[in-house]
Amino acid sequence: EDDLEIRRAREVAQLMSIGVTDPVEQSQILGYDATLYWSPMPKPVESKQVKHQSNAPSTSPAAPAAARPPEDPAKMGKGQKQQEKQRVLGPAVVDMRSPIACGSFKNAYLGTMGDETILVLKHRGGGSEGNSEIQKEVAILGCISQHPHVVHCLGTFRYGDGGVCIALEWCKYGILSDWLAQKGNKVSVPQKHDIIQQICLGMRHVASCRIIHRDLAAHNILIHNENPILAKITDFGMAVRMGHPIPPPKPFAGGSQEKEVIAVRWAAPEILRSEHVWSAPWSEKSDVWAFGVTAWQVYANGEVPFTLSVAESAVKLQVLKGSTLSRHADCTEEDWAMMVRCWTSDAGVRPKFSDLCKQSNS
């Protein structure tokens, strides 16, 4: 079998961190010119296809859907308030012919906006259901103001088939867990401490925007720069707003329900004790528990937690009995004390991210 050719292995690792797991080779280049907008709920915008030079034959995809011009803000009704936030960010050219990777729910494409490389996500299913899932994530991203330790959502546009696309900044060094495994002992203890503090600062900001991430882990942290190291939190596909109920899984046609997904190895005990994921008491405090596990992964060079317990049911039993991860030899007293605080079994006593940031600065 021919190996799939991807420009950099770490690019694939980054794509896996955002739910895209099956890399595919690019064979044709067909640019899709799109006016990039920032809006929590994108609507069709004017766009056109531009064919770029390529040795491979190609056929043009369906023409873009007819675009509606932006409404005059002065004529907007009460239900159009969010459209007042919409602003043009600039033109982007995206290779929408061949995704650089495909996953169960999303395809990923590379594009450019000016001199900047961007990553574009599009739901594979398309249609209203696919757009709804993408729009949920866009709505969450719209609640989070820009921060140096959170991956920046550049904007949104609609492709010709009506599918909503998200444009994100590209972090070329990939996901933290793989980056740490690759670097090994080349990453110093002070650098590991700095990475942990950057994640803490990013999560303090996310919490201040009243967002619960619900999937914090080393594989959902990206490395934007190496010198100096710059870490950014990503993948808000499971995130929810504080105080907003989580809807139960949708039933399939046959009557069965969608499978509830939970990252057991990063989950707080109050989450593991819940009968259903959607009714669990998700909060900033459950994110704090996951942050402690993520910090442990930094000192473990990206290792998956509880590796001695293959079955997640065994991990769940350990955590509910009060077992926690062991300290690594090079872990500082300060960082270990912080992790132990994160793993306080009583969520009410567990610190907030603002408390953890104060502790690190004291």
Tell me the per-residue pLDDT of 162-214, one tens digit each, with 9 for 90 and over.
777 888 888 989 889 999 999 999 999 999 999 999 999 999 999 999 999 99
Shared domain check, 188 and 157? no
Which residue stretches of the chain are H helix?
A: 9-17, 127-143, 176-183, 189-208, 269-272, 284-299, 312-320, 333-342, 353-361
Q: What pairs with residue 212 in β-bridges?
A: 240
Q: Is residue 85 part of a domain?
A: no
Shared domain check, 157 and 187? no
Shared domain check, 290 and 153? no
* Single residue among 169, 191, 216 that ends a domain in this structure: 169
Shared domain check, 349 and 269? yes
Confidence at residue 62, expressed as pLDDT on a 0 to 100 scale:
34
Shared domain check, 290 and 194? yes
Residue type, 90: G
Instruction: Tell me which of 36-50, 76-90, 264-278 is least confident.
Output: 36-50
Q: In whole angstroms, what is the distance from residue 235 CA to residue 33 CA?
A: 25
The residue among 103 and 59 whose pLDDT is bigger is 103
Decide: 233 and 199 in contact? Cβ < 8 Å: yes
Shared domain check, 328 and 203? yes
Instruction: Tell me which of 43-52, 101-110, 208-217, 227-236 is least confident.
Output: 43-52
Shared domain check, 178 and 130? no
Tell me the three state secondary structure of residue 30.
Answer: strand
Q: How confident is the model over 119-146, as pLDDT tens digits?
A: 888 776 656 666 677 778 888 988 998 9
| Number of domains present in the structure of the chain | 3
Q: Is residue 313 part of a domain?
A: yes
Q: Is residue 248 part of a domain?
A: no
Q: Which CATH number belongs to the domain containing residue 144 in this structure? A: 3.30.200.20
Q: How confident is the model over 13-31, as pLDDT tens digits?
A: 444 454 443 333 322 223 4
Shared domain check, 192 and 140? no
Determine what percent of the chain is predicted with pLDDT higher than 90: 43
Shared domain check, 193 and 329? yes
Q: Is residue 104 part of a domain?
A: yes
Residue 306: left (phi > 0), alpha (psi -120 to 50), or beta?
A: left
Cα angle 207, 212, 214; round to 5: 135
Decide: 163 and 131 in contact? Cβ < 8 Å: yes
The residue among 275 and 122 whose pLDDT is bigger is 275
Shared domain check, 325 and 197? yes
Confidence at residue 269, expressed as pLDDT on a 0 to 100 scale:
98
Shared domain check, 181 and 280? yes
Q: Is residue 311 part of a domain?
A: yes
DSSP designation for 306: T
Q: Is residue 133 part of a domain?
A: yes
Domain that holds residue 4: 1-26
Q: Is residue 73 part of a domain?
A: no
Which residue stretches of 67-188 are H helix?
A: 127-143, 176-183
The residue among 315 and 277 whose pLDDT is bigger is 315
Q: Is residue 106 part of a domain?
A: yes
Q: Which CATH number belongs to the domain containing residue 205 in this structure? A: 1.10.510.10
Cα angle 296, 299, 304; round to 5: 55
Shared domain check, 332 and 233? yes
Q: How confident is the model over 342-355, as pLDDT tens digits?
A: 999 999 999 999 99
Residue 219 has pLDDT above 60, yes or no: yes
* Single residue among 122, 143, 169 that ends a domain in this structure: 169
